Structure 1
Amino acid sequence: MMNRHIRLLAALLLVSVAGAQAATPGETDFVLASQQQPVGPASIKPNPYTPGMPWLEVGVRSQSLVYYDARGVARAHYQISTARNGVGERENSYQTPRGWHRVCERIGDGIEPGTIIYRRQVTPWKYTPQLHQEYPDKDWILTRILWLCGMEPGKNQGGEVDSYDRAIYLHGAGEHVAFGTPTSRGCVRMRNEDIIELFAQTSNGLDVLINENL
């Protein structure tokens, strides 16, 4: 009886080896892959506004900003802070406008982190936590500015809803900002090191989607 079991086991092993040898490399790979935990492909999100071009997506719910390259591959992810008053396009609403924008102007190239930019002019002054304590209500704009133009007439372009006239920026902000929560007066606040990195990777004309549902 023992010999019969040994012969049966040997026969099964021979069949298994023969089957593996008969399989093509592609079939073997498929079998191996099917036994592993499936891994999804890298997130690809091509620019829906200007196909084939890099773009930014600002998520209001997630308080995040993602930079996608020309193929739609996410190259950088940043924590941000949008408006305390929520979303909206009206002048003097202190809300973050929604929809498609473009970077129209870039200010602050090469200046030191924490440099104060006042009315779009680079100043000789630097932000400090002590300075913020003295002026706690000041909306500090620091380091770099990416100034946005609305691209949707009647929504964020023209009249009382013009994002450019409202001076809506992506800009650096001080250490007091609670990034990941909405705290700004309409702009998109970023950490100084993050806006420096983003500024270096982008140029005028870059498409920016501010998505209230993301």
Structure 2
Amino acid sequence: MAAAPARAALPQTPLSSTAAAALLMDWHQLLAQYPAANDKVFIAVDVARQQLYFFRNGVLADTWPVSTASRGTGERDGSFETPLGVFEISGKIGAGLPAFAVLDRHGPTGGIARPVFTPDDPAANEMITTRILTLTGLEPGWNEGGDVDTRARHIYIHGTADLGQLGQPASKGCIQMAPGAVIRLFRAVQPGTIVLIILGPGTLETMPGDPPAIVADRDED
């Protein structure tokens, strides 16, 4: 009987106290502009480090490796890129399901995925498993409305069976997490939780100040 493959170690990038403080300052700034239904918790997705940081009551409570889009960042429909900016969790799908349950945007499909620990498994990477946290963009013209609407693009935080890809860009736009991690996150958040997707701590000031103008510039490229 063949031995089971060893589980790959999931990488984590420590967040310095300075970077954590910068993210919390961003969060407090965003709360003034986007009053959140749940202002005790906050999620920051660091695309550069491929990490999700979860803050509770002003303290960094958890850090998990993620996979964002293999094509990089972008907001346009059909780009298969991960959008940047300010979002809120607008829905939760999959409560109580098994860890590797397969889902789509309507809910469970009845399938159960097989965890994959080696990279480059397209079938595993395309599956949505475990839980879904739907995202709604909060910046009109940048990640909300028209052909940049995050919710219409079905961009989620969700589980994946492709554990070998976590910690590096691999998705088609969503933020993928290990099943155990996304279950913990799912339990800890409610609709209205702010999610900041950035290129790294300290980059909030580089987010679009005038989204329609930036979208127009992209059209001319």
Which category describes the TM-score, using the shorter chain as reference length?
0.7 to 0.9
1:85 corresponds to which residue? 71
Contact 2:68-2:169 within 8 A present in 1 as well: yes
2:83 pairs with 1:102: no
Distance in structure 2 (CA, Å) of the matches to 1:195 and 1:117 = 14
CA drift of 1:138 comes to 6.1
Report which stretch shifted further, 84-93 or 44-53: 44-53
Give per-residue Cα distances to partners, 1:146-183, cap 9 Å, x unaligned: 00000000000000000000000000001454111000
Superposition pairs of residues 1-214 of structure 1, within 5 angstroms: 43-44=20-21, 45-46=24-25, 47=27, 48-50=29-31, 53-70=40-57, 72-129=58-115, 136=123, 139-214=126-201
Which whole-Å CA distance do the structure 2 matches of 1:41 and 1:81 have between them?
24
Equivalent residue of 1:152, what SS?
coil
CA distance in 2, matches of 1:123, 1:193: 20
Larger Rg over CA atoms: 1
Q: CA deviation at 1:119?
A: 3.2
Shift of 1:212: 1.7
Against the structure 1 CA distance between its residues 41 and 180, is the aligned structure 2 distance closer, same or farther, given a 3 Å change threshold?
closer
Distance 1:135 1:159 in 2: 30
Shift of 1:64: 0.3
CA–CA separation in structure 1 for the residues paired with 2:108 and 2:71: 28
Q: In structure 1, how many angstroms separate the alpha carbons of the residues matched to 2:50 and 2:122?
A: 25
RMSD of aligned alpha carbons: 2.5
2:30 counterpart SS class: coil
After TM superposition, the structure 1 stretch with the greater mean CA deviation from structure 2, 142-151 or 168-177, is 168-177
One-letter code of the match for 1:50?
Answer: L
Q: 1:123 to 1:213 in 2, by over 3 A?
A: same
Structure 1 unaligned regions, length at least 5: 1-39
Show structure 2 runs of 5+ residues with no match.
Answer: 1-16, 33-38, 202-221
- Residues 42 and 73 of structure 1 are in contact (CA less than 8 Å); yes or no, is this contact kept in structure 2? no
| SS of aligned partner of 1:50 | helix
Amino acid at match of 1:68: F
How far is 1:73 from its partner?
Answer: 1.1
User: Partners of 1:42 and 1:88 in 2: how far apart?
Assistant: 24
* Structure 2 CA distance for aligned equivalents of residues 43 and 121 of structure 1: 34
Structure 1: distance between partners of 2:121 and 2:156 = 24
How much does 1:128 deviate? 1.2
Q: Identify the structure with bigger relative contact order (alpha carbons < 8 Å, sequence gap 6+).
A: 2
CA contact (8 A) 1:107 1:145 kept: yes
Equivalent pairs: percent with the same residue?
A: 33
| CA deviation after TM superposition for structure 1 residue 201, in Å | 0.6
- What number of residue pairs does the alignment pair up? 173
1:108/1:122 contact within 8 Å kept: yes
Native 8 Å contact 1:104 1:147 kept in 2: yes
Contact 1:172–1:192 under 8 Å retained in 2: yes
